[in-house]
């Protein structure tokens, strides 16, 4: 008989952020950009990046070990492991296969799942796979584990300040405190060249920044429309921003998130929803006859809609912006870092609330879905999740480096990308206890990682 699962969702979550970062304000000066361009224009504060001993594999080894240890989950209890990443280190061997060392040590090789890749969307594909598995007749009663891991780096130029790096791990199972409302997903997928990585010898993407912004907003409109109509079909009542307590976006940089929320508000206005007040209706009315295409390029609409949606933005979006503004774009991990920010900032009052999520990956793939919070017992209580995440400490214990050091690291990584037969400096002194780090790559391109010992207080 098939096992029955209910309230499937995220039981536990952890994040790893590289401990080196550069302040956007100092990068602005270094790059010769006008003052305020990165901090106000893009809305970013700081950007984390991988040092020469870190990569998407070391970060995911660290975050998976940390989650299993902090929640006391026996690696044998994991039945599915899915990784989302767009940072290609090997064109055949999955990041998941590197993570198997954690499970093999405990005698568990019975774990389904591999990597999902499509720009920043791979983590959401991995998450959907795990949730679907736990909800399906092939579920064997064990947990799913999702890993989103990316190092976002750009060539010199306007896109460089929109980098970042992190890895997120999420434990998936029934009776979760963060429950998937699986019926209401809205998806839009299409073929465009807005951001892609055709040069396999380089870690940097080819990016049409302006096109990617428009594609993001178009995808947002379509996903929202489809999400609303599914909700309305199942629930028999209107869905508007009033039905979402928080809205969490894939966050390449904060300004796009501000514009995106304003866009959803404009959608509600066009749909004549109760979420739009009378004063806002009057201000938005002059834009009601714009074609969709005109509306994406109207600076006046952008300005007015941001203004009338400002209070709601502060209430429903601002709590999700902490990590994305502090760490930068984490590609697949970005939307889940934004979700973690909501948990961190609002866990005391989150019970019973709905979180609307928008995931976007260039190329393009996008989905909107929703989560409902239902607080549980220890260890899967919101309080414990937030304690384990320890966000404030993670952010405050980072080492701020000068832009020169950041650029020097990127230069070194340009040579290291795809290279063989090298030994790293091996300096893991800045990494937290228990972190994995790259020691060397041999003449057959095989990568080797060591682990820093765990802190005494952290257990054995």
Q: Kindly name the residue from 46, 120, 130, 228 that is annotated as catalytic.
A: 120
Q: Kindly name the residue from 46, 54, 250, 302 that is annotated as catalytic.
A: 250
* Cα dist from 82 to 68, 147, 250, 325, 389, whole Å: 15, 6, 19, 27, 21
Strands 354-361 and 246-249: parallel
Strands 447-451 and 186-189: unpaired
Smaller CB separation from ligand ACO, 145 or 217: 217
Residues of the shown chain interacting with ligand ACO in the complex, contacts defined by CB under 6 A: 34-37, 40-42, 120, 158-159, 162, 195, 207, 209-210, 212-213, 216, 252-253, 255-256, 329, 362
Strands 365-373 and 186-189: antiparallel
Residue among 39, 85, 362, 28 nearest 213 (CA): 362
- Specify whether the CB–CB gap between 28 and 43 falls below 8 A: no
Q: Kindly name the residue from 28, 54, 82, 86 that is annotated as catalytic.
A: 86
Smaller CB separation from ligand ACO, 120 or 309: 120
Strands 354-361 and 164-173: unpaired
379 cis-preceded (ω within 30 degrees of 0): yes
Smallest gap from Cβ 453 to ligand ACO, in A, equals 36
Q: What is the DSSP letter of 447?
A: E
Smaller CB separation from ligand ACO, 62 or 212: 212
State the SS3 of 40-104: HHCCCCEEEECCCCCCHHHHHHHHHHHHHHHCCCCHHHEEEEEEECCCCCCCCCCHHHHHHHHHH
Smallest gap from Cβ 127 to ligand ACO, in A, equals 17
Which residues, 6 or more positions from 32, have their beta carbon under 8 angstroms from its beta carbon? Answer: none
How many angstroms separate the CA atoms of 238 and 119, rounded? 32
Smallest gap from Cβ 213 to ligand ACO, in A, equals 6
Smallest gap from Cβ 258 to ligand ACO, in A, equals 8
Is 250 catalytic? The answer is yes
Smallest gap from Cβ 108 to ligand ACO, in A, equals 35
- Specify whether the CB–CB gap between 340 and 15 falls below 8 A: yes
Expressed in percent and rounded to 5, the helix, strand and coil fractions of the chain are 45, 20, 35
Smaller CB separation from ligand ACO, 34 or 72: 34
Smallest gap from Cβ 225 to ligand ACO, in A, equals 20
Smaller CB separation from ligand ACO, 79 or 324: 324
- Closest CB to ligand ACO belongs to which residue? 41
Q: Under DSSP, is residue 86 helix (H, G, I), strand (E, B) or coil?
A: coil
Active site residues: 86, 120, 250
């Amino acid at each position: 008989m098939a096992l029955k699962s209910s309230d499937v969702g995220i039981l536990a979550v952890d994040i790893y952020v590289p401990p080196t970062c550069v302040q956007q304000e100092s990068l602005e000066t270094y790059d010769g950009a006008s003052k305020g361009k990165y901090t106000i224009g893009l809305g970013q504060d700081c950007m984390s990046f991988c040092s020469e001993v870190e990569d998407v594999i070391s970060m995911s080894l660290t975050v998976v070990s940390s989650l299993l240890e902090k929640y006391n989950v026996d690696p044998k209890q994991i039945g599915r492991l899915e990784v989302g990443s767009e940072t290609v280190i090997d064109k055949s061997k999955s990041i998941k296969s590197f993570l198997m060392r954690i499970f093999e040590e405990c005698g568990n090789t019975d774990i389904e799942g591999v990597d999902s890749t499509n720009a920043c969307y791979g983590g959401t594909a991995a998450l959907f796979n795990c949730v679907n598995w736990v909800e399906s007749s092939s579920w064997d009663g064990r947990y799913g584990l999702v890993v989103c891991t990316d190092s976002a780096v750009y060539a010199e130029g306007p896109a460089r300040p929109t980098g970042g790096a992190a890895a997120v791990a999420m434990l998936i199972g029934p009776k979760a405190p963060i429950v998937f409302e699986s019926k209401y997903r809205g998806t839009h997928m299409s073929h465009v060249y807005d951001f892609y990585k055709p040069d396999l010898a380089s870690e940097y993407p080819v990016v049409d920044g302006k096109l990617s912004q428009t594609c993001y907003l178009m995808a947002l409109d379509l996903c929202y429309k489809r999400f609303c109509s599914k909700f309305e079909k199942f629930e028999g009542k209107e869905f508007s921003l009033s039905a979402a307590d928080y809205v969490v976006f894939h966050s390449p940089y904060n300004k796009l998130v501000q514009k995106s929320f304003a866009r959803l508000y404009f959608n509600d206005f066009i749909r004549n929803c109760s979420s739009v007040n009378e004063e806002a209706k009057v201000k938005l009315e002059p834009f009601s006859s714009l074609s969709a295409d005109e509306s994406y390029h109207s600076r006046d609409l952008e300005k007015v809609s941001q203004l009338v949606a400002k209070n709601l933005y502060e209430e429903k979006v601002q709590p999700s912006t902490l990590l994305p503004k502090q760490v930068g774009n984490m590609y697949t991990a970005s939307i889940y870092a934004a979700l973690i920010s909501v948990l961190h900032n609002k866990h005391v009052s989150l019970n019973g609330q709905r979180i609307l999520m928008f995931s976007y990956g260039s190329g393009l793939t996008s989905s909107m879905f929703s989560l409902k919070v239902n607080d549980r017992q220890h260890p899967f209580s919101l309080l414990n999740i937030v304690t384990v995440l320890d966000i404030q400490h993670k952010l405050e214990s980072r080492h701020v480096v000068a832009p020169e050091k950041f650029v020097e690291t990127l230069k070194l990584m340009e040579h290291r990308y795809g290279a063989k037969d090298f030994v790293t400096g091996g300096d893991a002194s800045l990494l937290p206890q228990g972190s994995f780090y790259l020691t060397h790559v041999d003449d057959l391109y095989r990568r080797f990682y060591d682990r820093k010992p765990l802190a005494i207080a952290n257990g054995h």
